[in-house]
Amino acid sequence: MKFLLLILTSLFTVGVSAEVYKCTDAGGNKVYRSSPCSEGYKNIQIDLTTGKTVDLDEEKKLQILKAQKEQEELEHKQLEEQQENLRKLQIINESKKNQLLIKENPNKFSAFAIPPYELEKLTPLVKRYEGRLAEIERLRGIAAQKALASGQCNRVESSELNERSTKDLLVFLVDCTNTKSFYFDQNQLAKQ
């Protein structure tokens, strides 16, 4: 103990450093140094002015874990962004299919029969089901075609998500020029 105090005191008084490193090997042998321990030693930093000790090996592990967590969070965020971009692309594609259907069949659909739902301007009803917007856009087109196929609808004026929708069952309302209206739920439309 006296030897340790002598080493510590001499290092402090010479002004080499206010820090000392206690290096412990696998056999429990301790060596005190003025620089960090080499690989394979347990590395404890001692602040001579405050007496505070820091386990540098543990600190290094914590830094590695923190860096890994930050990397995982970054990857998770990137994955979420990719999924959101894919979802938006699916919505756009389904809307384009509906617009193409209208363009190719102007005598069966009014120009605004299936206007695209815009993410920034969703009605409260559609906003409730925002996560299923690509599916909603697809089913709106199918509902309009099913109404026409019934032979009772001469021309589609609108095909919209309806208030009768629930979390488990989407319902669509198709209004026709001849004042005929049709309600279809997603199960009926899935058969198409």
Q: Both 40 and 87 in a single domain?
A: no
Residue 75 placed within a domain: no
Q: Both 21 and 113 in a single domain?
A: no
Q: Both 99 and 186 in a single domain?
A: yes
Residue 66 placed within a domain: no
What's residue 16's pLDDT? 47
- How far apart CA 136 and CA 115 sit, in angstroms, is 12
Closest C-alpha to 117, from 141, 139, 146, 92: 92
Q: Both 84 and 53 in a single domain?
A: no
Closest C-alpha to 157, from 109, 191, 100, 95: 109
Domain count, the chain: 2
Q: Both 19 and 92 in a single domain?
A: no
Residue 71 placed within a domain: no
Q: Which domain holds residue 160?
A: 80-190
Q: Both 39 and 91 in a single domain?
A: no
Residue 21 placed within a domain: yes
Residue 145 placed within a domain: yes
Q: Both 84 and 151 in a single domain?
A: yes
Q: Both 100 and 171 in a single domain?
A: yes
What's residue 31's pLDDT? 86
Q: Both 167 and 88 in a single domain?
A: yes
CA 132, 138, 139, 140: dihedral to nearest 10 degrees? Answer: 110
Q: Distance from CA of residue 112 to its chain's centroid?
A: 34
Helix ranges (H only) for the chain are: 2-14, 56-104, 124-128, 133-149, 186-190
Q: Both 102 and 18 in a single domain?
A: no
Q: Both 103 and 135 in a single domain?
A: yes
Series of mean pLDDT values for 10-residue runs along the chain (192 residues): 54 60 86 85 84 85 92 94 93 95 96 93 94 95 96 96 95 97 95 64
